[in-house]
Amino acid sequence: MSEAPVSEAPVSRAPLSEAPVRPPRLAPRTRTYLWAGGGLLLLVLPFYLDRFWLQAGLFAMAAAIGAIGINLLTGSTGQLSMGHAFFLAIGAYGYCVFAAEGGDGLTGLGLPTWLAAVLAVLLSGLAGGLFSPIAGRLRGAYLGIATLALIFIGQHVLFNARDLTGGFNGRDVPPLSLFGLTFDDRELLVANVPFGSAEKLWYAGLVLLLGCGLFARGVLRGRPGRAMNAIRDHRIAAGVIGVPVARYRAAVFVLSSMYAGLAGVLLALVFQRTVPDYFGITLSLEYLAMIVIGGLGSVSGAVIGAVFVSVLPQLLTRYSDALPLVSAPGTGGVAPGEASRYLYGAAVVAVVLFLPGGLVRVAAGRRFRTDPGEKR
Amino acid sequence: MSTFAELLLNGISMGSVYALIALGFVVIFRATEVVNFAHASLLLAGGYVTATLHEDIGFWPALLVGIAGAAVVGAAVDLLVMRRYRGSDHSVLAIVTIGVDILLTTELTRRIGTDVLALGDPWGDAVLTLGPISLAHTRIAAFVAAGLLITVFLLAFRYTSWGVAMRAAAESAETAALMGVRLGRVSLGAWAVAGGLAAVAALFLTVFPTPGLERATSLAALKAFPAAILGGLDSTTGALVGGLLVGVTESLATGYQSELTFLGRGLGDLAPYLVMTVILLIRPAGLFGTKELARV
């Protein structure tokens, strides 16, 4: 860290884009076709997949949104956060409180559900903003452990504020309805395929993920992204060249919390019930694992990592009898959940040691390798 | 008043245990500048070894093996994982320790399962009564043992060549290496010592009045993080003060929670984190931490 890559990054980056070092990139047209093909595939999947796979996919989408958020914070700005689960919980429970009718003895404001979702995201952002006196000042491990406090505060509130959260048993999540379309299990036939909540939510999830991904990409490629990377790579130098460091750190924290809030809303809608146990420290660690495995500081890395970490346990559960070493939960052997934790724990270690940059670098054919702006 | 004294003494005793854990954490940080998020799993490993062996070979040998076992696990983490990292960014290494923690904790909680393992300590549930104050023997033992270990450690840190090497490495790794300090040994020693201290702490976290070693023990161990942070990550004094502060706060919050019901149940688990948050707001580098100075 003795030589600041900050100031040179934008300069040396420009020639690199035409530099011959890179292996030939896919022609723009091929890329467009790939994107279109992939998008089309995602659009038609609900017509062919059963509920299990759709749910797995939805979890992955929600996780991807959350992972993009934490990657903005931890990957791009270098602020370690172990409190991401707290903001997910605020999103999930905030949505419940705003949207529920309040018939079951729990507080519910009975707002239109789309408004509730928006408010829940804003509420997460607000919570992140309230934490900014700490988030703007602490760094590295100090921040990591301070955010650990959020998890415990969150758990405490979730278990104790029974009127809001339903306590230990959690509370039901009212289905989202938008433009007269309700995302619940009342079946709707589309081209002779019954559309339940999973199918309908699939499209909502896709739209949200696309929006979040594009927004984050915009942030990262523009002025704020450069400032964030500068803060990560050399905080003092960033301050000297005029980046308002504390303000940026607080702002990224808020943005990342809002992403987490949205992921929380989506997760709540998929689960259809929120329980406090879920939003513990394990969840936070999972999100950190996602971005490390996928690739720190990039949107596609976050998405790849999220798919890896969230689909893996479901895959292992589904095929536990066909796999060696994995047995059904409760039979004494390695349960699928544990097996997947071994795998992603090992993946975190292996990626950092042997594959700096994460899976996204492999997918991209290591073409960023010589890019000094990306070096950590 | 006697309740208060009791809670205070209990808190100090628990605090000294937290200080043991935090000390290990600080030692690793000073020697290698790595924040070890896998510390709770080292503790769990030590406790687990003791718990499984004590019936066959007796408590004291089992404890020794447990301490050695945790030290070996710590050293192995350093040797097999930390050494392999070629970069220079220590925050990335912190994330690696999170990966290690996921691995170790999963394995150990899988082995422990839903059981509550006794560690076979000789103190049982005996209680010492001094006038109006009653104190469990385990708490006294915890305080004495932790105090003894901390003293020995601090003396070693100050006067032995190992301690000097470690402090030199913390001051400036490069200069220390040029002076002939073997940095590899220093970091290996730090990890092993931290593991050993954590194993002792595991014993005292799981004896009476807590039921025994269970999955949740690693959560209890996490309270040493705020202890280390609020004292200042690079300060051994800070680890001691932080540990005591966390222990006393927790004990008082648990003891008086019937009068604080408006804050909800289980306040004791939360109190350390609240104290840490407040202290970090006022002193971002912790109570005794070195304020960061940078030369531009």
Domains: count for chain B: 1
Searching chain B, which residue's CA lies closest to the CA of residue A133? Answer: B281
CB contact under 8 A, B222 and A345: no
Statement: residue A102 has pLDDT above 80: no
- pLDDT at position A363, please? 66
Contacts of B81 in chain A (CB under 8 A): 349, 353
**Average pLDDT of the residues of chain A:** 80
Shortest alpha-carbon distance between residue B99 and chain A (Å): 5
> Phi then psi for B15, rounded to 5 degrees?
-60, -40
The range of the structural domain enclosing residue A106 comes to: 40-278
Whether B15 and B246 have beta carbons less than 8 Å apart is answered as yes
Searching chain A, which residue's CA lies closest to the CA of residue B277? Answer: A146
**Closest listed residue to residue B2, CA positions, set B10, B13, B244:** B10
- pLDDT at position A78, please? 85
Question: Which of the two residues, A60 and A36, has the higher pLDDT score?
Answer: A60
Range name among A101-115, A323-337, B168-182 with the lowest pLDDT average = A323-337
The whole-angstrom separation of Cα A273 and Cα B273 is 28
- pLDDT at position A27, please? 67
Contacts of A334 in chain B (CB under 8 A): 110
- CA trace torsion B95, B96, B98, B103 (10° rounding): 160
Other beta carbons less than 10 A from residue B152's beta carbon: 10
Give the one of A133, A153, A349 whose C-beta lies nearest to B100's C-beta.
A349
- pLDDT at position B148, please? 92
Statement: residue A22 has pLDDT above 50: no
Give the one of A144, A335, A345 whose C-beta lies nearest to B94's C-beta.
A144
Establish if A8 belongs to a structural domain: no
The range of the structural domain enclosing residue B136 comes to: 2-224
Question: Which of the two residues, A135 and A54, has the higher pLDDT score?
Answer: A54
pLDDT tens readout for residues B220-260:
888 888 888 888 888 888 889 999 999 999 888 888 877 77
- pLDDT at position A373, please? 42
For residues A299-311, average pLDDT: 90
CB contact under 8 A, A346 and B274: no
* pLDDT band per the 50, 70, 90 thresholds, residue A215: very high
**Closest listed residue to residue B272, CA positions, set B248, B256, B240:** B248
Contacts of A240 in chain B (CB under 8 A): 296
Chain A residues within 8 angstroms (CB to CB) of chain B: 1, 78, 80, 133-134, 137-138, 140-142, 144-146, 148-149, 152-153, 156-157, 159-161, 236-237, 240, 281, 285, 288-289, 292, 334-335, 338, 341-342, 344-349, 352-353, 356, 376
Shortest alpha-carbon distance between residue B256 and chain A (Å): 17
- pLDDT at position B4, please? 86
Establish if A221 belongs to a structural domain: yes
Searching chain A, which residue's CA lies closest to the CA of residue B96? Answer: A349
pLDDT tens readout for residues B99-135:
999 999 989 988 888 888 888 788 877 888 887 788 8
* pLDDT band per the 50, 70, 90 thresholds, residue A258: very high
The whole-angstrom separation of Cα A332 and Cα A197 is 35
C-alpha dihedral sign at B51, B52, B53, B54: positive
- pLDDT at position B34, please? 85
Tell me which residue has tokens 């104050």.
B133
**Average pLDDT of the residues of chain B:** 86
Q: What's the first-to-final CA gap in chain A, in angstroms?
A: 9
Omega prior to B209 cis, within 30 of 0: yes
Statement: residue A185 has pLDDT above 70: no
Establish if A47 belongs to a structural domain: yes
Strand-pair partners of A326:
A334
Contacts of B41 in chain A (CB under 8 A): none
Cβ neighbours for A3, distance < 8 A, ≥ 6 positions apart: none
Statement: residue A13 has pLDDT above 50: no
Searching chain B, which residue's CA lies closest to the CA of residue A140? Answer: B91
Establish if A94 belongs to a structural domain: yes
* pLDDT band per the 50, 70, 90 thresholds, residue B64: very high
Give the one of B87, B106, B294 whose C-beta lies nearest to A341's C-beta.
B106
Searching chain A, which residue's CA lies closest to the CA of residue B281? Answer: A134
* Residue A317 one-letter amino acid: T
Give the one of A134, A141, A347 whose C-beta lies nearest to B94's C-beta.
A141
Exposure class string for B198-223: b at 16+ Cβ within 10 A, else e: bbbbbbbbbbbeeebbbbebbebbbb
Give the one of B96, B98, B280 whose C-beta lies nearest to A134's C-beta.
B280
Contacts of B285 in chain A (CB under 8 A): 142
- pLDDT at position A368, please? 46
Question: Which of the two residues, A14 and B194, has the higher pLDDT score?
Answer: B194
Best residue of A81, A145, A236 to probe chain B, by most B CBs closer than 10 Å: A145
- Of the ranges A189-193, A255-259, B130-134, the best mean pLDDT one: A255-259
Statement: residue A2 has pLDDT above 70: no
* pLDDT band per the 50, 70, 90 thresholds, residue A356: confident
- Give the up-direction half-sphere exposure of residue A167: CA atoms within 13 A in the CB hemisphere: 7
CB contact under 8 A, A348 and B226: no
Establish if B122 belongs to a structural domain: yes
Range name among A21-30, A69-78, B9-18 with the lowest pLDDT average = A21-30
* pLDDT band per the 50, 70, 90 thresholds, residue A252: very high
A–B CB contacts, 8 A cutoff, strictly below? 131
* pLDDT band per the 50, 70, 90 thresholds, residue B192: very high
Give the one of B103, B107, B276 whose C-beta lies nearest to A149's C-beta.
B276
Contacts of A142 in chain B (CB under 8 A): 229, 233, 280, 284-286
Shortest alpha-carbon distance between residue A25 and chain B (Å): 28
Q: Classify A203 as helix, strand or coil.
A: helix
Contacts of A344 in chain B (CB under 8 A): 102
Alpha helices in chain B (DSSP H): 2-32, 39-57, 59-76, 90-112, 137-159, 161-171, 173-178, 183-206, 217-221, 224-231, 236-255, 267-282
- pLDDT at position A145, please? 86
Whether A300 and A307 have beta carbons less than 8 Å apart is answered as no
Statement: residue B157 has pLDDT above 70: yes
Statement: residue A178 has pLDDT above 70: yes
Question: Which of the two residues, B77 and A185, has the higher pLDDT score?
Answer: B77
Statement: residue B266 has pLDDT above 90: no
For residues A109-136, average pLDDT: 88
The whole-angstrom separation of Cα A33 and Cα A39 is 10
- pLDDT at position A75, please? 87
Give the one of A138, A157, A348 whose C-beta lies nearest to B95's C-beta.
A348
Establish if B232 belongs to a structural domain: no
pLDDT tens readout for residues A55-89:
889 999 999 999 999 999 988 888 888 889 999 99
Other beta carbons less than 10 A from residue B144's beta carbon: 12
- pLDDT at position A374, please? 41
- pLDDT at position A87, please? 94
Domains: count for chain A: 1
CB contact under 8 A, A142 and B270: no
Whether B62 and B50 have beta carbons less than 8 Å apart is answered as yes
Establish if A368 belongs to a structural domain: no
Q: Which long-range contacts (CB under 8 A, 24 or more apart) does B133-138 make?
A: B133/B2, B133/B5, B133/B6, B133/B9, B134/B6, B135/B6, B135/B9, B135/B10, B136/B208, B136/B209, B138/B204, B138/B207, B138/B208, B138/B209
For residues A257-263, average pLDDT: 95
Quick one: what percent of chain A has pLDDT higher than 90? 24
Give the one of B85, B229, B267 whose C-beta lies nearest to A353's C-beta.
B85
User: What is the reported pTM?
Assistant: 0.85
Give the one of B103, B226, B284 whose C-beta lies nearest to A138's C-beta.
B284
Quick one: what percent of chain A has pLDDT higher than 70? 82
Contacts of B267 in chain A (CB under 8 A): 156
Contacts of B242 in chain A (CB under 8 A): none
